[in-house]
Structure 1
Amino acid sequence: MRIGAHVRMDSDPIGYGEQLGADVVQLFVVDPQSWDKPVPHPATEQILASPIDVVVHSSYQINVASTNNRLRMPSRNAVALQAQAAADIGAFGLVVHGGHVRSDEEIEAGFVNWRKLFERQQDKGGFAVPILIENTAGGNHAMARHFDTIARLWDAVGEYGAGFCLDTCHAWAGGEDLVGVVERIRAITGRIDLVHLNSSRDAFDSGADRHANFASGTIDPELLAEVCRSADAPVVLETPAEGMAEDLAYLREHIG
């Protein structure tokens, strides 16, 4: 099992990973709040030469489900560009949030828009790395907050080889029980490609996406360790930096 963390020092991801003793690091290839186009990573040679695995998280404003052309079209373009940038540094995938629409009436259109993302890229030869769709914490019109909606999303995109990233904080805050969560998701998607193992600052079903360290969060740390054991996938912690080393130490001690 490969365990690591999201890198907050994007200029030296491998150095930060080595400092933590990480097997895998997650990073951005652009400012996550921007529509910037990726440029070659200054540490590309070091990243490619390192035994530390790499996965890329897409920028936050991407919403390929949106029915607003002015958001959906640049989102599609950003996914393709960031997937190529991920491939250029040897990443095993690009994590993309499920996104949302504005009303219940638009939900079906959101699934169609996700399908079109893969259909149109397939005509261009496919994405440069697998797209790992991540479950999200909040929103009443989200594509990937509740598991019944994820099932509908997978009906639309599963045949295109979409991967899945399970975020424990998002599932908990989104109102999905973490007991048996791995089996429930696998029954829908057939796969878990990455786990974002995070505790939550907020209560179950709060809808709030606020990560916490294991010792201070509202999720039982042993339950988090069980998710890690069951998923049998690379694990990335996105918990606050001040307690990250302790979270990694806890995990390594409890997953044997």
Structure 2
Amino acid sequence: MLKIGAHLSVAKGYERMGKDALYIGANTLQFFARNPRGSKAKAADYNDMSKFKELMRENHFAEIMAHAPYTLNACSPDSNLRALAARMFAEDLLRMEYFPGSFYNFHPGSRSNQEEGVAVDQIAEMLNQVLFEEMHTTVLLETMAGKGTEMGRRFEEIQAVIKKVRLKDKLGVCMDACHLWNAGYDVVGKLDKTLEEFDKVIGLQRLKAFHLNDSLDGLGLHKDRHAGIGMGNMGAEATKGIINHPALKELVFILETPKDLDGHREEIDFLKRAYKWQE
């Protein structure tokens, strides 16, 4: 079964978001846990969340994913911002316990003028602070494009963080096609080589999810401009190759493309038809 969804809005409620997922033909989804450009989170509506859980159960949803806000920077030089990141992270993990077995994805952060090793220590320190033994959520570090001083553009940076985290069994990785391409990993022509390198450095067992998109920019340019499937420099065949790769076919795939609901519906229909591992 192809586990396919898109990044959807939870602004009108969890149940509405779930119905949007069904409309586009999805069986999973991603949403921002709070204001993506700020730090505030809406008060939990457990009645709405319960209806969403029932909708997911009835429609056999795969694992869903919450995305941390872009403002969460675990390796900021500002200690106050790092403390804010830890607080938001901890609050989001507690709320995600209402949806056991889900993913919480975050960008490792930007180190600014700090050394890479310092940033690694700071990210790991936050994770050691917020992860707890009883949690039922898997935290995913996202592979990044490498804009400026962005952490996570190389697999070695992500592994360096994982190595310093005590509760390693709570951690996984989410690949992003556009980010990988812009970081210099050729997922178009050398997907096998990219996955072999990931397996050697981190281990494929940690790979849990994949953001699907195209890129407006060329290989290794360290930009982060997503395009619709087949509407960028990577091409639709690259996405088809990703979802059909034997090592990836059972991952959760999330569309992060600049499309509305109807656009996502068309993309999901295309990917379902392209998927070779039908039941």
- Which one scores higher on RCO, CA 8 angstroms, separation ≥ 6? 2
Query: What residue is the counterpart of 1:113 in the other structure?
Result: 122
Corresponding residue number in structure 1 for 2:252: 234
- Greater displacement, 10-19 / 240-249: 240-249
Q: Determine the C-alpha separation between the residues in 1 that align with 2:17 and 2:87.
A: 25
Equivalents in 2 of 1:89, 1:119: separation in Å?
Answer: 22
Which of the residues 185, 192, 198 maps onto 1:185? 198
Equivalent of residue 203 in structure 1, options 218, 221, 237: 218
2:232 counterpart residue number: 217
Deviates more, 1:144-153 or 1:77-86: 144-153
Residue 39 in structure 1 maps to residue 43 in structure 2? yes
Is 1:88 aligned with 2:106? no
CA distance in 2, matches of 1:229, 1:182: 13
Distance 2:93 2:240 in 1: 30
Change (3 A) 1:55 1:7: same
Q: Give me the TM-score of the superposition, normalised by structure 2.
A: 0.83
Secondary structure, aligned partner of 2:232: coil
- Any idea what SS the aligned residue of 1:241 has? coil
Size of the aligned set, in residue pairs, is 254
Distance 1:37 1:174, change over 3 A: same
Amino acid at match of 2:179: H
Q: Write the deviation string for residues 138-192 of structure 1: whole angstroms up to 9, x where unpaired.
A: 3343220122323333333385221100001111122222122333323322221
1:91: how far off? 5.8
Distance 2:90 2:147 in 1: 25
Work out the percentage of aligned pairs sharing the same amino acid. Answer: 22
- How do residues 155-170 of structure 1 correspond to structure 2 at under 5 angstroms? 155-157=163-165, 160-161=168-169, 162-170=171-179
On the 8 A contact 2:102/2:136 being kept in 1, the answer is no
Segments of structure 2 that go 5 or more residues without pairing to the other structure are none
> C-alpha separation between the residues in 2 aligned to 1:210 and 1:158?
34
| CA–CA separation in structure 2 for the residues paired with 1:164 and 1:90 | 18
Greater CA drift, 93-102 or 235-244:
235-244
What's the TM-score, normalizing by structure 1?
Answer: 0.90
2:238 & 2:166 partners in 1: Cα distance? 28
Structure 1 match to 2:142:
134
**RMSD of equivalent CA atoms:** 2.1
Question: What is the rounded CA distance, in whole Å, between the counterparts of 1:140 and 1:208 in structure 2?
Answer: 9
Q: Look up the SS of the partner of 1:13 in the other structure.
A: helix
Q: The residue matched to 1:149 in structure 2 has which SS?
A: helix
